[in-house]
Every structure is written in structure tokens, then in C-alpha cells.
């Protein structure tokens, strides 16, 4: 797991950025919260050409295939 996704300060910064980007407010309904499960995966990717961080929903099957292909190698431009 990415060291960034384990850092509370970094996660709070991401949340702050998302709220500010959305005009200062994001509303999460009870239904939306209930629909999140432990099987839901979010990948965090760094795009070196633009300097952007990309948060993206990841299909669990794709994640399993990717882990098989790359093994335990750590790539600084691809965090999960």
C-alpha cells in the first residue's frame, strides 16, 4: 500500500483539495456511504508529464492482474 495513502496529513490534504475544487462543499448521502465496501479500490497515480495526481476507481480483477505482472516492485510513478 502506498505510504501516501497511509499518511493522515496527506489524506486530509487530498480531501481539502477535492472540497476546494468542488466549490467548497461535497455532500455525501447515507446511500453513497453505505455503497462503499472493503472491496472497492482506489488507485493513486502520479502523472510525471503534468505533475498531476490522479485518483481513479480500480477494478479488483485489473488490480490482481497488475500485481501478478509487476510482482512486488515499487514504481514511484504508480502508487496503490
Instruction: Quick: pLDDT tens for 66-75.
Output: 554 445 444 5
The contacts of residue 44 (CB under 8 Å, 6+ apart) are: 2, 4, 5, 53, 54, 55, 79, 80
At 3 the pLDDT is: 81
Mean pLDDT over 50-76 rounds to: 69
Domain ranges for the chain: 40-80
Mean pLDDT of 4-8: 85
What is residue 63's predicted lDDT score, i.e. its pLDDT?
64
pLDDT at 70: 46
pTM of the model: 0.63
In DSSP terms, 44 is beta-bridged to: 55, 79
Q: Which residues contact 55 (CB under 8 A, 6 or more apart)?
A: 14, 42, 43, 44
Q: Cα separations (Å) of 27 from 18, 32, 78? A: 12, 10, 29
Amino acid at each position: 500500500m502506498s505510504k501516501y495513502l497511509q499518511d493522515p496529513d496527506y489524506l486530509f490534504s487530498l480531501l481539502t483539495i477535492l472540497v476546494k475544487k468542488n466549490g467548497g462543499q461535497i455532500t455525501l448521502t447515507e446511500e453513497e456511504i453505505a455503497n462503499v465496501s472493503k472491496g472497492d479500490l482506489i488507485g493513486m497515480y502520479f502523472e510525471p508529464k503534468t505533475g498531476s495526481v490522479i485518483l481513479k476507481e480500480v477494478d479488483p480483477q485489473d488490480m490482481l492482474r497488475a500485481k501478478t505482472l509487476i510482482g512486488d516492485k515499487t514504481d514511484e510513478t504508480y502508487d496503490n
